[in-house]
Structure 1
Amino acid sequence: MARTIDQQIAEAQARLSRLKERQKASETRRKIIVGSVVISNALKEPEKARALAALLRRAVTREVDAKELTGLLGELDTVAEKAALRPQGAGGEGRS
């Protein structure tokens, strides 16, 4: 039995909708992976911690989002402060 043009259009639209959902899921996974790598790296390196905290404070403007980041910003600040308190030449590069 032959499909009508309307049926073919409906099927094509449904297929397009599924592809868009897959694309969005892929983009979300990519953001999660990149975010995880960036955060993990920043929590190990004081300069990156300082830079990421500054970027987040500058770029995140919605109050609900800022509240969600409170704990992370505290962790980043702690990493950055530990480096500032460490004497030069004591296991770090220090500042010149």
Structure 2
Amino acid sequence: MARSIDQQIATAQAKLARLKERQKASETRRKIIVGSVVISNALKEPEKARALAVLLRRVVTREVDQKELVGLMAELDEAAGKASGADRS
């Protein structure tokens, strides 16, 4: 029995939704991997730690996101040799 056009559209839309979910999951995994590599390397090299801290302070503007990064910012400051928290640009 042939499927109606509406059934074919519904099937195509469901497939598109699944593909979009896979794409989003893939993008999220990529961000996690890159973030992990960047953070891990920054914590090992003071200049990179300093640069990442400056970048994050400049671009992370939402209060909820800033709160999430408090611990990381402290680690970056320490790795950059600014454990006292001074020179927060």
TM-score (norm 2): 0.90
| Deviations 1:31-69, CA, capped at 9 Å, x for gaps | 000000000000000000000000000000000000000
Offset of residue 23 of structure 1: 0.2
Which residues of structure 2 form unaligned runs of 5+?
83-89
Whether 2:42 is the aligned partner of 1:38: answer no
Task: Provide the aligned length of Structure 1 versus Structure 2.
Answer: 82
SS of the aligned residue for 1:61 comes to coil
Q: Determine the C-alpha separation between the residues in 2 that align with 1:79 and 1:12.
A: 51
Alpha-carbon distance between aligned partners in 1 of 2:21 and 2:80, rounded to the nearest angstrom: 39
Whose RCO is larger (CA < 8 A, sep 6+)? 2
- Does residue 67 in structure 1 map to residue 67 in structure 2? yes
TM-score (normalised: structure 1): 0.84
State the 1:4 CA deviation. 0.2
Which amino acid letter does the alignment assign opposite residue 39 of structure 1? I
Q: Deviations over 1:73-96 (max 9, x none)?
A: 0000001117xxxxxxxxxxxxxx
4+ residue segments displaced more than 3 Å: none
Question: What percent of counterpart residues are identical?
Answer: 84
Which sections of structure 1, spanning at least 5 residues, go unmatched? 83-96
Q: What does 1:6-85 correspond to in 2, within 5 Å? A: 6-81=6-81
